[in-house]
Structure 1
Amino acid sequence: MGFDGIPARAFAFYEGLAADNSRDYWHGHKEVYEGSVREPLLALLDELEEEFGQAKLFRPQRDTRFAKDKSPYKTYQGVTVGAGGSVGYYLQLEADGLFLGAGFHAYDPAETARYRAAVDDGHTGGGLVKITDRLVKDGFELVGDRVKTQPRGYPADHPRIELLRHSSLGAERRVPRSKARGRGALTEVRDGWRHLRPLVDWLLGHVAKG
Structure 2
Amino acid sequence: METFTGIPTAASDFYAELEDNNNRDWWLAHKDTYDAVVRVPLESLLAELAPVFGPAKLFRPYRDVRFSPDKSPYKTVQGAFASNYEGVGFYLQVSADGLLVGGGFHSSSAAHLARYRTAVDAPVSGAALAKAAAALSESGFGVEGQKLKTVPRGFPRDHPRAELLKHKTLSASLLVGLPDWMDTASAREEVARHWEQLRPLVDWVIRYAAP
Matches of 2:122 and 2:114, distance apart in 1: 12
Say if 2:12 and 2:95, in contact at 8 Å, map to a contact too. yes
Alignment of 1:53-92 (within 5 A): 53-92=54-93
Matches of 1:168 and 1:88, distance apart in 2: 13
Give unpaired runs (5+ residues) of structure 2: none
1:183 is displaced (CA, Å) by 2.6
Q: How many residues align?
A: 209
Residue 114 of structure 2 corresponds to residue 116 of structure 1: no
The residue number in structure 2 matching 1:188 is 190
1:8 is displaced (CA, Å) by 2.2
- Encode CA deviations 1:93-130: one digit per residue, 9 max, x unaligned: 11111111111112411111100100000111011111
Say if 1:83 and 1:89, in contact at 8 Å, map to a contact too. no
Report the identity percentage.
48
The residue number in structure 1 matching 2:10 is 9
Q: CA RMSD in A?
A: 1.2
Higher mean Cα deviation, 64-73 or 79-88? 79-88
Higher mean Cα deviation, 181-190 or 118-127? 181-190
1:182 is displaced (CA, Å) by 2.7
Residue 45 of structure 2 corresponds to residue 32 of structure 1: no
Higher mean Cα deviation, 41-50 or 180-189? 180-189
Matches of 1:188 and 1:139, distance apart in 2: 15
Task: Report the 3-state secondary structure (helix = DSSP H, G, I; strand = E; otherwise coil) of the residue aligned with 1:178.
Answer: coil
Matches of 1:61 and 1:80, distance apart in 2: 16
- Encode CA deviations 1:49-73: one digit per residue, 9 max, x unaligned: 1111110111100000000000000
Residue 180 of structure 2 corresponds to residue 206 of structure 1: no
Instruction: Tell me the amino acid that sits aligned with residue 42 of structure 2.
Output: L
Matches of 1:68 and 1:191, distance apart in 2: 39
- Encode CA deviations 1:119-147: one digit per residue, 9 max, x unaligned: 00011101111111111111111011111
Alignment of 1:28-177 (within 5 A): 28-177=29-178
Q: Could you list the runs of 4 or more consecutive aligned residues of structure 1 that deviate by over 6 angstroms after TM superposition?
A: none
Matches of 1:69 and 1:23, distance apart in 2: 15
